[in-house]
Structure 1
Amino acid sequence: MNIALEELQKQNKTVYKNVFNHFYKGLVLYANNFLFDQQASEDIVQEVFIALWENAKNIEIKTSLKAYLFAMVRNRCLNYLKAVKVTDDLNLIDLNSMLILDEDLDLISEEEKNILYNQILKIIATFPESMQQVFKLKFIENYSYNEIADEMGISVNTVKTQLQRAKTKISQSLVVILALLSIRQ
């Protein structure tokens, strides 16, 4: 069993604080990919850490603490979206989580992963040059919004707008790709 989990189960505040500090920012970014609402994303991640603390003694993790935390955040985001009546009939939210969290990619075949990956690269190639650069800095180089803005000499809001437009274009295009993949099966 994971040493960090053992210490969390013993209510070790130092380990809990370290886990919080290590995962908080990434979990908020992950939640924000579902919600597109920074405050709601922060609230959900804080709720996850409260639940982790309150239920640590009863938690059984079969994968890793990281995968467990990301799954908790994803589930709470989906519940939040259901509560505000957002529907996802095409399962774009699940696809988005697959693209962000590699652990979920084992749900689709290797062939489908390659098709999706190649189609995403083709979609990105159609973006205007500046949008391509913003997208690559964010998702390939893992830059923060501020780092991208500094690198490119643009505002953080422009970075966010470019990324939102890129995600929208990818989501719209992937609907067709996923439909074609499901027809093949």
Structure 2
Amino acid sequence: MESFSDIQSFNLLFNEYHERFIRFAIGYVKDRQTAEDFVSEAFAVFWENRRLLSPDTRPPAYLMTIVKNKCLNYLQHQQVQQRVTEDLRDHSEWLLQTKISTLEACEPDFLFSGEIQKIIDSTLNQLPKKTRRIFLMSRVEGFSYSMIARKMDLSQKSIEYHISKALELLRESLKDFM
């Protein structure tokens, strides 16, 4: 059973440092709820381990170390997530560029022969209106993705998505010719 002085000392420590530690953590994690969780966990660890700590342990420094390490782990986890996201984006861009290069490498005389042109026209007509317009702006009119995005008031990712869908359908329609 804890003595009144242990609880009273803990409460004084909590009241003095709780908000300071939250502000410290927010400076790194940029999210109040996460910062509050880290500080609450630090105080809980301190309370649970208080009898195991050496007498010369300075509670504020002990608590700050826990909060610091939780913030550091959080940021390192975010860094890993960011790398994975970037790798996936890079792969997606590479895949899209490969699709574009494959289509660009086709011989124009062959690509625009009568039968193939009918398949292309038919496939483009199957596309949703917005996707078809975006694809034609890119491939026929020669607009960049960013220019199309500005003209159509969409994000560049949205333009990439529409182009990808159009190319996917074209590739499927033209698979016997590729």
TM-score normalised to structure 1 length: 0.40
Using the size of structure 2 for normalisation, the TM-score is: 0.41
Computing the radius of gyration over CA atoms, which structure comes out larger, 1 or 2? Answer: 2
